[in-house]
Amino acid sequence: MNIRIIPRLDIKGPNLVKGIHLEGLRVLGKPEDFAHYYYECGADELIYMDAVASLYGRNSLVDIVERTSREIFIPLTVGGGLRSVDDIRTVLRAGADKVSINTAAVADPELIQKASRAFGSSTIVVSIEAIKHDDGSYEAYVDYGREKTGVDVFEWAQRVEELGAGELVVTSINQEGTGEGYDLDLTRRIAESVSIPVIASGGAGSVAHIYEAISEGSADAVSMASVLHYNFVKQRSVSEEAFEAEGNIEFLKGKWGSLNFGKIKDATVQEIKQYLIENGITCRYQPEEAAHA
């Protein structure tokens, strides 16, 4: 089957942000610009994740979804702060194809069932944010990695499937933003224990990590942020005045020549796909696609 490459856009207010372990969010730019660019580069889907659950705030995620879904014709999953069937309907009506739920699903597992009945299983993605403890156990966290739940992620994954979720996004908070690679053990254990597709998330620092998530982690799709975002940021000069004063813009104030990406070896969507194909993983790759349009 064809693996999907899914850029993940974490959004705070009007800005695209990126942190480490989901903390210390830095502003990288406007989500719309990133979304357009990834669409044109052949991304297979996009995930928008609201870092502060500002669904109904000024410059809210719903506005961004509305604007971009008219121009970007690949599946769009939207998550962050969705509490109810009505919230889900609001985001779908704005143009999302799927929604991702975590906090509200842990608080009220029946929401998964209600939502998958109302909108179809394939519309409901459950996001599992996992922290690995020293004893090797994995606990599900909610509220964008801020709150513990006491729930074992492997039991939760099976329960979520039974309740009718169509897909899982599995994020390792330990790995997230570090560029040290996905948690392959976590990804594989979940991917092999459920019959629905699993999207690996958190930790990609190179194209090789993405390959490993598929070959060793058994992921059906892979989501990544920094690897792609840093590449895009490098390619263009952005004026920091373009961004509103909210958020940490230290990153953007840095001199472009001396950007420190830590362990991240950035890449484009095409470079990721080329690497996968060279290593025997199939995916949609049509470099000529833009010429047809």
Q: Any contact of residue 78 with other proteins (CB under 8 A)?
A: no
Residues 23-62 that bind other proteins (CB under 8 A): 39, 42, 44
DSSP string across 211-237: HHHHHTT--SEEEESHHHHHHHHHHS-
Residues 137-166 that bind other proteins (CB under 8 A): 166
10 is catalytic: yes
The stretch near other proteins (CB under 8 A) out of 25-33, 88-96, 236-244, 257-265 is 88-96
3-state secondary structure of 58: coil
3-state secondary structure of 254: coil
Closest among 66, 57, 3 to 32, alpha carbons compared? 66
Closest among 238, 242, 250, 211 to 227, alpha carbons compared? 211
d(CA 41, CA 195): 30
Q: Any contact of residue 235 with other proteins (CB under 8 A)?
A: no
* Binding residues with other proteins: total (CB under 8 A): 39
Q: Any contact of residue 289 with other proteins (CB under 8 A)?
A: yes
Q: How many CB atoms lie within 10 A of CB 197?
A: 17
The single residue among 102, 123, 178, 268 that binds other proteins, judged by CB under 8 A, is 123
Nearer to other proteins, 93 or 133 (CB): 93
Structure tokens at 86: 């009505």
Structure tokens at 99: 């929604």
The stretch near other proteins (CB under 8 A) out of 28-36, 70-78, 146-154, 245-253 is 70-78
Query: Which residues are part of the catalytic machinery?
Result: 10, 129
Contact positions vs other proteins (CB under 8 A): 1-4, 39, 42, 44, 69-70, 73-75, 92-97, 117, 119-123, 166-167, 195-197, 220-221, 280, 283-284, 286, 289-290, 292-293
